[in-house]
Amino acid sequence: MTSDPQSAFIVALLGLAIGVVGVALGAYALVRMSRLHHSYELLQVAEGRETIVDVMGRTMDEFGDLRDEVLTLEAGLAATRRDLAMALRHVSVVRYDAFGDMGGRFSFSAALLDDHGDGLVITSIHARSETRTYLKGLAGGDSDVTLSPEETQAVRLARGGPA
């Protein structure tokens, strides 16, 4: 068995290269194993600590509860918006002197409407010896009874129109 020095050198270099690759792979495996061990420790119960699984489970339950609360609040808000649309919240008052001889604007027409224009107009006509009050219903901003110019103006103002 004769071995020449050149073959021995090549075999030594090859062995060294395989050894370096083996050490590098071993170091990589050690780092990965360390990371896995750290991740595993997070999943294990330690003294007085919750595991990440417990925390995540509790967090998911809390998110479910919050989602249910938000859905309940959204339903309540929708009901409130429906109720608010039917509230008589658009109001205007037009004051005027009905007879021109009173020396003041004691007569008035007041419109009270909801978002759909439904509501009523209250008119009070003030004269020297008496005051009369009238009430007219509105549906969609229109009345079955003819509205006076002052009542029409009050309705227009209550619906956000120009004075």
pLDDT of residue 103: 63
Mean pLDDT taken over the chain: 88
For residue 46, pLDDT beyond 70: no
Residue 24 resides in a domain: no
String of DSSP letters for the chain: ----HHHHHHHHHHHHHHHHHHHHHHHHHHHHHHHHHHHHHHHS--TT---HHHHHHHHHHHHHHHHHHHHHHHHHHHHHHHHHHTS--EEEEEEE-SSS-SSS--EEEEEEE-TTS-EEEEEEEE-SS-EEEEEEEEBTTB-SSPPPHHHHHHHHHHTT---
Band (143; pLDDT cuts 50, 70, 90): very high
What's the pLDDT tens digit per position in 118-130? 999 999 998 888 8
Answering whether pTM is above 0.85, one says no
Same domain, residue pair 66 and 116: no
Residue 8 resides in a domain: no
Same domain, residue pair 137 and 106: yes
Same domain, residue pair 65 and 78: yes
